[in-house]
Structure 1
Amino acid sequence: MDDDRVWSFEKSLWDGTPEHYRELVDETCLMVLPHPPFVLSGTQAIEAVADTTRWTEVAFSKGQIARPQEGLIVVAYHIEASRGDETYQANCTSTYRWLSHEVWRVIQHQQTPPLVVQGAVEKTG
């Protein structure tokens, strides 16, 4: 999967339909989110995110892509997303596993909102 397709794939996880999300996230996925129960796996991870309102605006920055071996892609990035009056920022990682020609599934995803460090908010720009 080329870099443009990787970012398109990742964006679709934030703003695509719940059905699309369920299709792209593997049933063995491990996920860490910034709200209880924090650590999720399998269908619990899929349903926790698929059933939330999708983001209408999504912007990536600080994007990095690694391909540690054939059939694995790891992405890391900062996201700024919004829907209505709600905004969200986080540093994220996702790992994709190749299944067959043009078929990839998310097997890991993590979100860490900006941390407060010694009274200052982490700079995201």
Structure 2
Amino acid sequence: MKTESFWAEEENFWLEGPDFYRANMVPDAVMEFPEPTGTLKGPQILAALENAPRWEKVVFFDRSREMLGNKVRLTYRAEGWQNGEAIYVAKCDSTYVKMGGEWLLTHHRQEPIGS
């Protein structure tokens, strides 16, 4: 992935399924979701995706990207869409690490905004 593709890559993590995750995250990645899901690590992330509905659309606002050596941190507000409506709004951050010439997701966190 080229550095200018981080936002497209991030969008794919919202829209795509387990195969995309397998190819684009480190094996021991950590994802922090609101309860009841909570914190998932590595294989737990893939297992949770197997039967989970994916978002049909996601829109990012207030985007920021910080680069430091072999790491990149994205921070943003996301609106997740299903059935033509924005039904989920969250503050998010994701960290990517460069390994073997590839940028891979190592950490993702979501904090819901509103009800």
TM-score under structure 1 normalisation? 0.79
Query: Which residue of structure 2 aligns with residue 64 of structure 1?
Result: 64
CA 1:17–1:30: 2 relative to 1, 3 Å? closer
Gaps of 5+ in 1: 117-125
Q: Percent identity?
A: 27
CA contact (8 A) 1:27 1:46 kept: no
Q: d(CA) in 2 for partners of 1:37 and 1:88?
A: 15
Following TM superposition, where does structure 1 have runs of at least 4 consecutive aligned residues deviating by more than 6 angstroms?
A: none
Tell me the number of residue pairs that the alignment of Structure 1 and Structure 2 aligns.
113
Q: How do 1:1-125 and structure 2 match up within 5 A? A: 1-2=2-3, 4-49=4-49, 51-68=51-68, 70-84=69-83, 87-101=87-101, 103-115=102-114
Gaps of 5+ in 2: none
Residue type matched to 2:14 in 1?
Answer: W
TM-score under structure 2 normalisation? 0.85
CA contact (8 A) 1:96 1:108 kept: yes
Give 1 or 2 for the bigger CA radius of gyration. 1
The Cα RMSD (Å) is 1.9
CA contact (8 A) 1:11 1:58 kept: yes
